[in-house]
Homo-oligomer: A and B are copies of this chain.
């Protein structure tokens, strides 16, 4: 397992993580606009995710309802780790330092993170 989730597949997963189980049609309706897919495309992606055992299905009448088999948290953890490993030698500090250097952290971001860290230490 631990099969790769492609970008298009990820969009489908976000829908299912947000709400499930859903039919193929429901998923299609919930795909964010901009990603202008035909119903067939959604079905193909669901099929691929099924084949990879990343989602499961249950019959409901003459159609399927799909639900995630993988927790969003697990997926997110894996992706985050991959990025940190690849670009920051596996450490978060350089990532934060990098963002700070790039002025991509506002004062309120900093305050939020400080508060979070304070809470973690208690």
Contact = CB atoms under 8 A, between A and B. Distances in A.
A121 B87 CA distance: 25
Interface residues of A, number: 33
Nearest to A7: B86
A71 to B, nearest CB: 11
B81 A83 contact: no
Quick one: copies of this chain in the complex?
A: 2
A96 B87 contact: no
A97 interface: yes
Nearest to A118: B114
Nearest to A87: B76
A100 B88 CA distance: 17
A120 interface: yes
